[in-house]
Amino acid sequence: MTSFGTLLDPIADKAAIGTAMIGLSIQGKLWWWVTIVILFREVAVTVLRFAVIRGGVIPASKGGKLKTMCQGFGIGFYILPLPAWAHLPRDIFMAFTIGITLSTGFDYFKKALTK
């Protein structure tokens, strides 16, 4: 585990998630606003991490890891050919994922401002 790896690992996760979400939005399977909100948070946190890097790398929190896992599952639910009755639970799960995404984003900013 290195500082470089601690910095690059979340960026790789964000690139994979972002690519999948953009692809789903292009196909019309995922609303663009969901993709934009999540990508905005991801870019903002990445810029924040680079802005405060002199004070030390902000490692991924448990909430951030949960966020990434939920985003991955959420994307999977939009890729799978689910029956129509499963669309509402899928959308509710994505709403939960957006909540975690925004909450952990605010947490990162709070940690950076108190450093």
pLDDT at 80: 96
Give the 3-state secondary structure of residue 31: coil
Predicted confidence at residue 67, as pLDDT, reads 94
The average pLDDT across 102-115 equals: 86
| Spatial contact of 42 and 18, defined as CB atoms under 8 Å apart | yes
pLDDT at 3 exceeding the cut of 70: no
Neighbours of 78 (CB within 10 A): 21
Question: The pTM is what?
Answer: 0.85
d(CA 15, CA 19): 6
Cβ neighbours of residue 4 closer than 8 Å, sequence gap 6 or more: none
**Higher-confidence residue: 97 or 4?**
97
Pick the more confident residue, 102 or 49: 102
Q: Measuring CA to CA, how many Å separate 60 from each of 8, 11, 17, 22, 47?
A: 11, 11, 16, 23, 14
Q: What are the pLDDT digits (tens) for 67-95?
A: 999 999 999 999 999 999 999 999 999 99
